[in-house]
Amino acid sequence: MIYFSPGVFFVSTGSKRCCCRLESPRSTGTPQREHSAVTPRQRSSLRRTPLGNRKNVNTLFKSPVQQPNISQSAANNEDTWEKAISELSEKEASLDKEIAQLEAQGYSLAELDKHISLLHEYNELKDTGQMLMGRLAVLRGITSKDLYSELGMDVED
């Protein structure tokens, strides 16, 4: 429970009481707090950590993750790397075969690059058109779906 009076407040919790007086000195004008406890604070028998678990804070950090044995991991890494390299070599060979088949069918790499750039340009123009249609729908105060039907277009267009 807290009681206030001019310049003083009292705090009472069960058997403990505390009185604090706020005064402002004439020289600085900043308030000072004077604290006096009516009853002494009793020490609790409970602690946050047991006394036996105290550790030196200046020791090196030990990771909880198990460190693999270096001699075994070096041998495993070599096997893993060799396996990954062989898999990538096989994939490269299969892609080279696929490219050769497409070139035999009459496709060229330059034609593919041109087709990809035209698709990028188409997507940019379509995005711009959809943005303009959305703004027009907002200006008219209708939904985009209603605007498409009003203009005789399908939503999928």
Where are the domains positioned within the chain?
2-40, 73-107, 108-157
Tens digits of residue pLDDT in 23-59: 544 545 554 554 555 555 566 566 565 565 566 667 7
Q: Which residues, in sequence order, are CB contacts of 144 under 8 Å at separation 6+?
A: 133, 134, 137, 155
Tens digits of residue pLDDT in 128-146: 999 999 999 999 999 999 9
- Stretch 95-114: mean pLDDT: 88
Residue bearing the bigger pLDDT, 39 or 66:
66
Beta sheet of 2-5, edge-to-edge order? 2-5, 8-13, 16-23, 32-37
